[in-house]
Amino acid sequence: MSLAEHRDAGPDQRRVPETFESTAPATGAVVAVFQVHGPDEVRAAVDRARVAAASWADLGFDGRRTRLAAYRGYLARRVHELADLVHRENGKPHADAILEITLAVDHLAWAATHARTVLGPRRVSPGLLAANHAAWLEYQPLGVVGVIGPWNYPVFTPMGSITYALAAGNAVVFKPSEHTPAVGTWLADAWRAAVPEVPDAVQVVTGLGETGAALCRAGVGKLAFTGSAPTGRKVMAACAETLTPVLMELGGKDAMIVDDDADVAAAADAAVWGAMSNAGQTCIGIERVYATERVYDAFVAEVTERVRGLRPGTDEAAAYGPMTMAAQTDVVRRHVDDAVAAGGRVAAGGTVEGRFVAPTVLLDVPETSAAVREETFGPTLTISRVRDAEEALERANANAHGLAGAVFSRSKARAMDLARRMRSGMTSVNSVLTFASVPALPFGGVGESGFGRIHGADGLREFTRAKAITRRRFPLPVDLMSFTRPAAAADALARVMGLVHGRHR
Ligand code: NDP
């Protein structure tokens, strides 16, 4: 049974195919053929990874840093080769693929360099009650981390989990999206070539949704999922069967606020990049703009002017490529049609030809329509006029998603205040998406955008368990946690507590 037959078949006739093809979105040409790994193969990969995890953990922070540096070097020396594969399989321009790979390599360097400081053993204060003990805290690896990734940033996104999990001392089994298995396989092959002593510390299993579901049930220590909220719910349900903890990086509907005193040209430039680059298939892409009355007209003029110079395509001059997934064009079309039916105006674009969506700007779209409420994941932007930045913030926050966002204002204090109050995991001021390129900053969302964090110190801790150890340094004359304690000891303790804490009201 082919992949197409599998999709079209009813649940009764559905059989999982043995292989599937990855195709170039631009031409439909076959990139490569991959095996569909079933539950037994997935479990075998996790079992191998468990053995590798023990050797990998034994290398310690310094040993792992050296090997991760070799992996980083391997990737950096082959950036064009990998970018070419990303271009073919995902459809994005070669230059955008290079940017994505560069970011991933930079994060890999940060994670490897900072793992010891963030996770290594440290002494903490034992406090009053355990003053005769030394107290230690350290963050230990989980063993094997399962990673399920999407197709839109097939290097940057999964590597945000893979490299931080590795730096924390875990092995990884990665299930790439069925739309980008060649890129996932390349990353695992690169690991084997760069770190041949522990080849099974990074493995790839390929297949469809069922393979991902099998990974959830294969006994991993944690499952890091990036994808849509509906699939995220299925992954959580499967992981709940074995109490496997999860990290959920889900979709977004990110907003930009353009305040009265904003640099309108800079805001427009950033909004167009944030909305249209990667054909809008960016979870932290800008999908909605709220511009104040004072700047609205100028902002709309700047955006439409810039959008006029953009077009999708496969040639060097194209601003972005085709939609990676054919079905996503239907979502974009539905959102545009719904916006227009509800009274919205198309200021630019609005057309879909095959897999290519014209850069689309929508005005006066009601807040209740799908184009404002749901993730579009295409090169579209709604721009709404608001009274002031407070109304902009209110509307930005009135969405179930809460991944990221942007604020444009020349007032540092005002912009920081709006950024803090934006209901999102990440906000950039006077730029878009910048937080993703700062390795020390955590990445993740709130609400329908998920929970847990990759990147930064939080991203390292995400793939560990905190371990607490105390060691008695000397005995006390009276041991409160012993049946030998004198009867008066509890009264003495109550008096000390009164002295130390009782004065607080
Ligand atoms: P999906 O949710 O469709 O798929 C994500 C991954 O889950 C794929 O590898 C998919 O495999 C796999 N999968 C599908 N069904 C199951 C299942 N039942 N059990 C386990 N795994 C399963 O998302 P997309 O690939 O379409 O990615 C786009 C979405 O990802 C967008 O909503 C986007 O916003 C979000 N995203 C979020 C990011 C973030 O960091 N917050 C970053 C990037 C994207 P297969 O492809 O083989 O079906």
Phi, psi of 470 (to 5 degrees): -120, 150
Ligand 1 centroid to residue 25 C-alpha, Å: 17
pLDDT of residue 90: 94
Sheet holding 171-175, edge to edge: 202-204, 171-175, 144-148, 222-226, 246-249, 450-451
pLDDT of residue 11: 53
pLDDT of residue 16: 67
Ligand 1 centroid to residue 401 C-alpha, Å: 16
Ligand 1 centroid to residue 249 C-alpha, Å: 9
Ligand 1 centroid to residue 325 C-alpha, Å: 12
- Regions of the chain where pLDDT drops below 70: 1-16
Which residue among 20, 23, 283 has the greatest number of ligand 1 atoms within 8 angstroms of its CB, and so is best to mutate? 283
pLDDT of residue 316: 86
Tokens of 434: 């910048």
- 178 in catalytic set: no
Amino acid at 18: E
Evaluate: CB of 178 within 6 angstroms of ligand 1: yes
Q: pLDDT tens digits, residue range 444-463?
A: 999 999 999 999 999 999 99
pLDDT of residue 357: 97
For ligand 1, atom 48, name the residue with the nearest CA: 209
- 249 in catalytic set: yes
Closest atom of ligand 1 to CA, residue 445: 41
CA-atom Rg of the chain in angstroms: 26
Q: pLDDT tens digits, residue range 119-132?
A: 999 999 999 999 99
Q: DSSP assignment of 132-147, as one string?
A: TEEEEEEEEE-SEEEE
The CA distance from 443 to 469, in Å, is: 30
Evaluate: CB of 180 within 6 angstroms of ligand 1: no
Which residue among the candidates 89, 283, 287, 462 is catalytic per the annotation? 283
The CA distance from 403 to 393, in Å, is: 14
The CA distance from 395 to 466, in Å, is: 39
pLDDT of residue 328: 92
Between the CA atoms of 84, 85, 90 and 93, what dihedral angle is there, to the nearest 10 degrees? 0
Ligand 1 centroid to residue 226 C-alpha, Å: 6
Evaluate: CB of 252 within 6 angstroms of ligand 1: yes
